Structure 1
Amino acid sequence: MGKTAFVFPGQGAQYVGMGKDITDNFKAAKLTYEEASDVLGLDMKKLCFDGPEEELLKTENTQPAILTTSVAILKVLEELGIECQMTAGLSLGEYGSLVKSDVFAFGDAVKLVKNRGKYMQEAVPQGVGIMAAILGLEKQPLQECINSCRQYGIVEAANYNSPGQIVISGEVEAVKMAVKKAVELGAKKAVVLPVSAPFHCSLLKPAGERLKADLESLEIHSPKVPIVTNAEAKILNCKTQVIPSLVDQVSRSVLWQDSIELMIKNGMDTFIEVGPGKTLAAFIKRIAKNFDVKVNLYSIEDMKSLKDLIPNY
């Protein structure tokens, strides 16, 4: 067996019913939902298992809901003795990594991400900013596309997810012009995403500042498991880096492809996606293929996927 990495999904992975199956079978998962409910004064089980979807889709609910589901599944993996040698999370998912590494307590993290969602939502008035996914265009031509559309307003690369899968973010007109231009430059597909704010661009700097004040009131520890950060795609190895990294992360590009390549270089050959959805596994598959290495991939979100994983540990 090589080395295992745990990766945690970000916003967009949520769905009504997430986590229910595992919670019905494991007390550790049930206790995680109960803790989140107590801390937030919100029935987290009801929100995740029953919805309604429009409540789950509100950013300030989505973020704690995904984190709670991911940590509930993480607790089950830990109980079964399945461990990791490195960890990372996509945007919001980085908080799952921080909980895994004991950088801060789950109760603090879930409160933090509820506020983070609220700050991100409030940083930009509704209708001012959007995001779009650009498929099949490499970094260089995409950067040229962004540069040429800056005359229309703010537009920046928000997520470098995997080869040929980059998300842009910014003001409506500039992003829409970039979508049009990306297609002209040969993108296979360019689509505006159904998100409520332009995440991971400079418009969100005020949200980062508000988050900083919350982070400064928390007890923060040095990571017990190495974490690869979104903002720099580097290993976070001391507690003084935690706050600047999380503040930057709100308004800077998510360097997911670089993060996974770094993990592969560090010998990770098994990636376990801990939480709802299978998006990260799809990204990692593409990144590994591009890197010409073979990796084992698992997405753990229910009893079936958990049972498929267990024989390998």
Structure 2
Amino acid sequence: MKVAFVFPGQGSQSVGMAKDLVENFKKYDQYLTTAEKAMGIPISNIMFEGPLEELTKTYHAQPALLLSSTIAASILMENGLKPDYMAGHSLGEYSALVMAGVLSVQDGASIVHKRGKFMNEAVPAGQGAMAAILGMAADDLATVTEAVTTEGHSVQVANLNCPGQIVISGTSEGVKLASERAKDHGAKRAIPLSVSGPFHSSLMRPAATKLGVELAMIPLREPKVPIIANVTAKPVESADEIRKLLIEQVTAPVRWEESIRTMLDLGVDTFIECGPGNVLSGLIKKIDRSVTTYSVFDTLSLTNTLYHLKGDSQ
């Protein structure tokens, strides 16, 4: 058995996230306190009590997801489950970096809090959008987005999630036009996403520039576990390359389907989604139905996962 830990991105946050785990594993109170001191915000209150509107703000959702995900993964590892590979979807890549020892939890929480602020500042509310396009090939969709962009309405492929599900991102008008044309060219559906900005698009360049300045000031170590990078869908092993790819990731597509296929080729047959929700588990099953997936977000799901996997390994 080869195991990969995968970490969710924005959209998976929910009020009460990680509360049950922290109540049952008391030492993570200090884990949260350390992160809060680094950020200067009471993130645990927002995670546990909400309101959802506050939690969903990108500069709160990002550190909240990182902390929830790394708490779940830490408890799994303390109980003897060691991943062979790790990957995170967009923001989730930072959770993977913390768990692989590249970033401390304090630096990880602090940098994604700033990353969220930079993204929020890059495009004023209402001027950017994202949409999920279902049932269209990536190359065909890229042709549509490139044509719309050439006409003056910036839009591009943002997330290559799984067969038949690709997310586009750009100006509100660009996403609207590309969605309409995608349906004209055979897409089954175009679903507008409830997001606070056009993530993974060229409109995020100001955020990428600011993030680069911040990343230059914090130490990154070599990963203890190979991480599959969003930008390349390949293992990344050096701190310098990680720093470079994290800056690129802000404006580049998330190659999630390719990342999962890379891990499948490397022999991974079991994926554990660490953090709230089961979005990634669903995507992975659409990529390859034969693999085993687990989602760990509370004590019950943790116990069930440990029971099945530790039993399999004995």
TM-score in terms of structure 1 length: 0.96
Decide whether the 8 Å contact of 1:15 with 1:276 is kept in 2: yes
Matched, 1:297 2:297: no
Match for residue 92 of structure 1?
91
Matched, 1:72 2:68: no
Q: CA deviation at 1:101?
A: 0.9
Match for residue 165 of structure 1?
165
Return the alpha-carbon distance in structure 1 between the equivalents of residues 51 and 263 of structure 2: 37
Decide whether the 8 Å contact of 2:230 with 2:256 is kept in 1: yes
Residues 43-98 of structure 1, C-alpha deviations (whole Å, 9 max, x = no match): 22211110011111111111011111111112211221111010000000000110
What are the ranges of 5 or more consecutive residues in structure 1 without an aligned counterpart?
A: none
Q: Give secondary structure in 1 for the equivalent of 2:91.
A: helix
Decide whether the 8 Å contact of 1:128 with 1:172 is kept in 2: yes
What are the ranges of 5 or more consecutive residues in structure 2 without an aligned counterpart?
A: none
- Aligned length in residues: 308
Decide whether the 8 Å contact of 1:28 with 1:72 is kept in 2: no
* One-letter amino acid of the counterpart of residue 214, structure 2: D
Q: Which moved more, 1:104-113 or 1:300-309?
A: 300-309
Return the alpha-carbon distance in structure 2 between the equivalents of residues 224 and 301 of structure 1: 23
Return the alpha-carbon distance in structure 1 between the equivalents of residues 197 and 34 of structure 2: 28
Return the alpha-carbon distance in structure 2 between the equivalents of residues 119 and 214 of structure 1: 11
Residues 242-298 of structure 1, C-alpha deviations (whole Å, 9 max, x = no match): 111000000000000000000110011100000011000001011114xxxx21100
Matched, 1:216 2:216: yes
* One-letter amino acid of the counterpart of residue 32, structure 2: Y
Match for residue 174 of structure 1?
174
Q: Give secondary structure in 2 for the equivalent of 1:18.
A: coil
* One-letter amino acid of the counterpart of residue 296, structure 1: T
Q: Give secondary structure in 1 for the equivalent of 2:195.
A: coil
Return the alpha-carbon distance in structure 2 between the equivalents of residues 28 and 136 of structure 1: 46
Q: Give secondary structure in 1 for the equivalent of 2:287.
A: helix
Q: Give secondary structure in 2 for the equivalent of 1:168.
A: strand
Decide whether the 8 Å contact of 1:123 with 1:207 is kept in 2: yes
Q: CA deviation at 1:185?
A: 1.9
Q: Which moved more, 1:85-94 or 1:122-131?
A: 122-131
* One-letter amino acid of the counterpart of residue 84, structure 2: Q
Q: CA deviation at 1:29?
A: 3.1
* One-letter amino acid of the counterpart of residue 94, structure 1: E
* One-letter amino acid of the counterpart of residue 237, structure 2: N
Q: Which moved more, 1:120-129 or 1:209-218?
A: 120-129
Match for residue 271 of structure 2?
271
Matched, 1:185 2:181: no
Q: CA deviation at 1:186?
A: 2.1
Return the alpha-carbon distance in structure 2 between the equivalents of residues 226 and 118 of structure 1: 29
Q: Which moved more, 1:265-274 or 1:18-27?
A: 18-27
The percentage of counterpart residues that share the same residue type is 43
Decide whether the 8 Å contact of 2:5 with 2:86 is kept in 1: yes
Return the alpha-carbon distance in structure 1 between the equivalents of residues 47 and 126 of structure 2: 27
Matched, 1:30 2:26: no
Residues 3-45 of structure 1, C-alpha deviations (whole Å, 9 max, x = no match): 1000000000001011111111112433322222222222222
Return the alpha-carbon distance in structure 1 between the equivalents of residues 26 and 193 of structure 2: 36
Q: CA deviation at 1:152?
A: 4.2
Match for residue 112 of structure 2?
113
Return the alpha-carbon distance in structure 1 between the equivalents of residues 306 and 173 of structure 2: 49
Return the alpha-carbon distance in structure 2 between the equivalents of residues 96 and 244 of structure 1: 17
Matched, 1:132 2:128: no
Decide whether the 8 Å contact of 2:4 with 2:271 is kept in 1: yes
Q: Which moved more, 1:296-305 or 1:181-190?
A: 181-190
* One-letter amino acid of the counterpart of residue 281, structure 1: S
Return the alpha-carbon distance in structure 2 between the equivalents of residues 28 and 179 of structure 1: 47
Match for residue 156 of structure 1?
156
TM-score in terms of structure 2 length: 0.95
Match for residue 14 of structure 1?
13
Q: Give secondary structure in 2 for the equivalent of 1:242.
A: helix
* One-letter amino acid of the counterpart of residue 72, structure 2: I
Return the alpha-carbon distance in structure 2 between the equivalents of residues 240 and 43 of structure 1: 32
Return the alpha-carbon distance in structure 2 between the equivalents of residues 201 and 14 of structure 1: 22
Decide whether the 8 Å contact of 2:8 with 2:274 is kept in 1: yes
Return the alpha-carbon distance in structure 1 between the equivalents of residues 18 and 305 of structure 2: 17
Match for residue 39 of structure 2?
40
